[in-house]
Structure formats: C-alpha cells, structure tokens
Amino acid sequence: MKYKLIFMVMGFITIMGFTAPAYPEFYRYVDKHGNTMFTDDISNVPVGQRAKVKAYEESPTSLTSDTEKTQEEQKQSAASQTSGFKDKEAERQRLESQKKALTLEKDALMAERIKLDEEKNQVITRTQIKAYNEKIIKLNKRIETFEEKLKAHNAQIEAFEKSIKSQ
C-alpha cells in the first residue's frame, strides 16, 4: 500500500514535469479595413479569415519593458480606431434587437389573425357579426401601425448600411 502511494506520487510528479505551462493563445488577422487586429477569442476572427489566421502563444518571460510599452501603444491606437467600430457594433446590436421585437410583434398579429379566422366560423347573430367586424378593424389598424414601424426600421437599416459603406 505504501509503495503504491509512492508510485502514484512519483508518476504524478513525472507527468507534471513533462507538461509545458499553458500560456494564453492569441490570434492575429487583418480586418476588412486593412487594420491588423489581435484577439484571444477565435470566434472574433471573421469566418473567411479563420483558415489563414496566425496563432501565437504568449510567454511571460519574453516580455521586456520596451515590448510592454510598444504593446500598450498598440492597444491605445487600436482602442482609438475601434471606438468608431464599437459605436457601429452597438448600433448594429440595437437594430438587431429592434428586428427581433418586430418579429415577435408580427408573430402575435398573425396569431391573432388566425384566431379571428377560426372565430369567423362561429359567428351567427348580428351582434356577433358586429363584434367580429370591430375586432377585424382593430386588428387592421394594428397591422398598419406595425407596417409603419417596419418601414421606419428598414430606413434605419439602410442609413446604417450607408454609414458603414462610407467608412
């Protein structure tokens, strides 16, 4: 039993001695504007460039104070360049969120339309017909309002795309 424990400890130490320490891996690629970009997340690299992306491993002993200064300057430069991109990304996300809300609203309107179509077969009396017609009128007004929102959203998307192309 004692030898078994010693063997296990020796095996563990041996294995740990042969494994290299893991350092963060980062990737370098060129964005669509020709800027060299660095990231530690491969999902941030455009799909079309993932095949030719260069991966690097950072070693803590390879950094000198001059290298650190250069990296800090690069980060500041990249930060100033990407601030405009962050604004565009925030706008894109806002438009995407707005699109999802409009899709949900459209689905709700269509579900209500289906419900009214089913209700149509059960309408018999004049009072029921009048109430049904009022529901249809209200639904049609809500659909018109939705279509106006959709047109405004599409105009915002066109303006956003023009601002992207102008850069």
Shared domain check, 92 and 61: no
Which domain covers residue 137, as residue numbers?
Answer: 87-167
Stretch 43-65: mean pLDDT = 64
Q: How far apart are the C-alpha atoms of 4 and 10, rounded to whole Å? A: 10
Q: Indicate whether 103 belongs to any domain.
A: yes
Q: Indicate whether 76 belongs to any domain.
A: no
pTM above 0.75, yes or no: no
Shared domain check, 138 and 100: yes
Greatest mean pLDDT range, 26-30, 44-48, 85-89, 107-111 = 107-111
The total domain count for the chain is 2
Please tell me the predicted confidence (pLDDT) of residue 138: 93
Task: Kindly give the interhelix angle for 126-165 and 65-120, rounded to the nearest 10 degrees.
Answer: 160
Q: Residue 38: which of 18, 54, 22 has the closest Cα?
A: 54
Task: Kindly tell me the burial class for residue 49, based on how many C-beta atoms sit within 10 Å of its own C-beta (0-12, 13-18, 19 or more).
Answer: middle
Q: Indicate whether 102 belongs to any domain.
A: yes
* Selected residue with higher pLDDT from 56 and 36: 36
Q: Indicate whether 11 belongs to any domain.
A: no
Stretch 39-51: mean pLDDT = 75
Q: What is the pLDDT of residues 68-105, one digit of tens each?
A: 656 666 666 555 555 667 788 888 889 899 999 999 99
Confidence tier at 9 by pLDDT (50, 70, 90): low
Stated length of the chain: 167
Stretch 41-46: mean pLDDT = 76
Q: Indicate whether 8 belongs to any domain.
A: no
